[in-house]
Amino acid sequence: MVQRSDKASIPHWERDTKVSSAMLAALAEHPLTFDLDEQQRLDLVELAMRERKFNDLAWLEATVLRIRAGEQILATEEGKAETTAATAPPPAAEIPVSLPVQVQSQEHLEALLEAHTAWIKQTLEPGKELVSGRANFKGNDLRTYVFEGFDLRAANLEGCDLRGANLIGTNLAGANLTRAQLQEARLDHAKLRRTNLSHADLSRASLQGADLRQIVTHFTKWEGADLRGTVLETKDVTPHDKEKRAEQDSETTEQ
């Protein structure tokens, strides 16, 4: 194994893995960066640590735009002096990383959703310090709770039991519903754009008028789902999903 002979040759993210790991976790959840690939997020962390851009949303937005335009953000920084950054580690940063929360009651749920709404507003306002509050309900049994009309953009609902849940008109854009149980759930007029529904079960769910553009649907189950009036433009649809969608459209036409 080749040993690095000087600290300057070591990437900044390797010099403080505790901070870089926290930053990577935060970027994986952030609505601006959750859909970037791992290498793009790592490049973003490296540049942020080089330039000490912590909790700078305006910088983040501008840099993400450069990435989406196809720019290699680290290549453009080569040749620039970074003596100061190399001689001292970056300061400790408070990076908001939401941990799963066990919901105790409807009141508790609404309090968490209120914090989530505040988090959404904060992330959309450049210049404000990043705060915690992103809803993380991973693995919760949420069958008895009411979500109708709530804003759950970018929320983590991975593996949640939402069978029969009332999600009418709920904004779930960009949410993680991987492996969620949504059988017979009511999702009429819900906003599900860019939502990850991989391995989710929507059997017999009602999605009349729902926005399903750019959803991710690896092995999603749609058997018996009511898709009338949906806006559908999937980001990644399996052949099985296409077949079921065609069957649904055929049945609707015959009716």
Q: Domains of the chain, with CATH numbers?
A: 12-87 (no CATH), 102-255 (2.160.20)
Residues 102-132: tens digit of each pLDDT? 898 999 999 888 888 887 777 666 555 555 6
Length of the chain: 255
Which residue is listed with tokens 């779930």?
172
pLDDT tens digits, the chain, 255 residues: what are they?
444 445 556 888 888 777 777 788 888 888 888 888 888 888 998 998 888 887 777 888 888 888 887 888 887 544 443 433 443 444 433 334 467 888 989 999 998 888 888 877 776 665 555 556 788 999 999 999 988 878 998 889 999 999 999 999 999 988 999 999 999 999 999 999 889 999 999 999 999 999 999 898 999 999 999 999 998 865 444 434 555 555 555 554 455
Distance from C-alpha of 24 to C-alpha of 86, rounded to nearest angstrom: 21
Per-position b or e across 15-36, b if 16+ CB within 10 A of its CB: ebeebbebbbebbebbbbbeeb
Distance from C-alpha of 156 to C-alpha of 139, rounded to nearest angstrom: 9
